């Protein structure tokens, strides 16, 4: 139904939780390298990433390769609220104010640094979204942020 792209994810348990989320919501997961962990069988089991058989998980060397595969879908970059970003890099609006369609793609940045400016620049301003937070707080955990957006998109599509 939807596609989740994790750009250079760093923390294995977050990715494991997102794999489980994708399995339960019917979303496909796309991992863009370099990854902050190994995907060999032993490492995957130790990190709680052994849900890959439950959902589609694809890995790519770079974002361009992934976006080429998903070229026909609408891409949304999910970022932190715009308060501290320069004007040209700001998100457009709330994730809750968008009407989502099947096959939409949601791009999330690495846990410690978010999406770099050159990646944000690939997404039109009106497709840069954020999750509201109270002022002065740190951003949500990556797995929680993915869950908020995917479940809203799925809800809007009647959990089809």
Instruction: Determine how β-strand 3-7 pairs with β-strand 75-79.
Output: unpaired
User: Which residue's entry shows tokens 């994730």?
Assistant: 95
pLDDT, mean of each 10-residue run, the chain (160 residues): 96 88 94 85 56 76 96 93 56 87 97 91 91 85 97 96
**CATH assignment, 3-156:** 3.40.1280.10
d(CA 29, CA 19): 7
- State residue 86's pLDDT score: 54
DSSP E strand stretches across the chain: 3-7, 28-32, 57-60, 75-79, 93-94, 105-108, 128-130
Q: Please, what's the b/e burial string for 30-54 (b: 16 or more CB within 10 A of its CB; e: otherwise)?
A: bbbeebebebeeeebeebebebeee
């Amino acid at each position: 139904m939807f596609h989740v792209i994790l750009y250079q994810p760093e923390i294995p348990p977050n990715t494991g939780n997102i794999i489980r989320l994708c399995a339960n919501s019917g979303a496909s997961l796309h991992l863009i390298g370099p990854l902050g962990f190994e995907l060999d069988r032993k490492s995957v089991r130790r990190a709680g990433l052994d849900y890959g058989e439950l959902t589609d998980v694809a890995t790519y060397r770079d974002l361009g390769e992934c976006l080429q595969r998903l070229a026909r879908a609408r891409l949304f970059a999910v970022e932190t609220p715009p308060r501290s970003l320069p004007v040209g890099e700001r998100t457009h609006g709330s994730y809750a104010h968008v009407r989502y369609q099947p096959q939409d793609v949601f791009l999330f940045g690495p846990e410690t640094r978010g999406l770099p400016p050159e990646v944000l620049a690939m997404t039109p301003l009106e497709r840069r979204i954020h999750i509201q937070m109270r002022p002065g707080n740190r951003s949500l955990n990556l797995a929680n942020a993915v869950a908020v957006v995917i479940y809203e998109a799925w809800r809007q599509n009647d959990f089809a």
